Amino acid sequence: MIASPRETVETSQIEKFLEKFLQQEPVEAVVLGYPAKSDGNVNEDVEGIYQKIIRFIQRKFPSVAIHRIDERFTSKLAQRALVESGMKKKDRQKKEILDQVSAAIILQDFLETRR
């Protein structure tokens, strides 16, 4: 399997997006990239958001497994991949593109650990 980037979704729209997506696609699991602090501890700033997303999925789609994956350093890996791909600097600086590639890296890492 290969992970590929999808559109980015604003936090305020995540439940609406997930509900529509999970109803339309055959999904076994959701992989959440989790931004831990550099020392590996929980990032308190985002924990509440993640718990809300997890509760939403568990309530609406109880058969869908949820995996939290440490996403530290994926932005740096994504930036390097974008440079190596030859993408113009102006495009590489768009946060949406960086987030999409970072998400694909997180998912690909998850899939590779499941082999």
Predicted local distance difference test score (pLDDT) of residue 4: 64
Highest mean pLDDT among 27-31, 52-56, 76-80, 94-98: 52-56
pLDDT bucket at 63, cuts 50 / 70 / 90: very high
Q: What angle do CA 54, 43, 102 make, to 5 degrees?
A: 75
Query: What 3-state DSSP class applies to 68?
Result: strand
Q: Where are the domains of the chain?
A: 8-71, 73-115
Neighbour tally for 57: CB within 10 Å: 21
pLDDT bucket at 1, cuts 50 / 70 / 90: low
Q: What angle do CA 14, 88, 73 make, to 5 degrees?
A: 50
DSSP states of 2-49? ---------GGGHHHHHHHHHHHS--SEEEEEE---TTS---HHHHHH
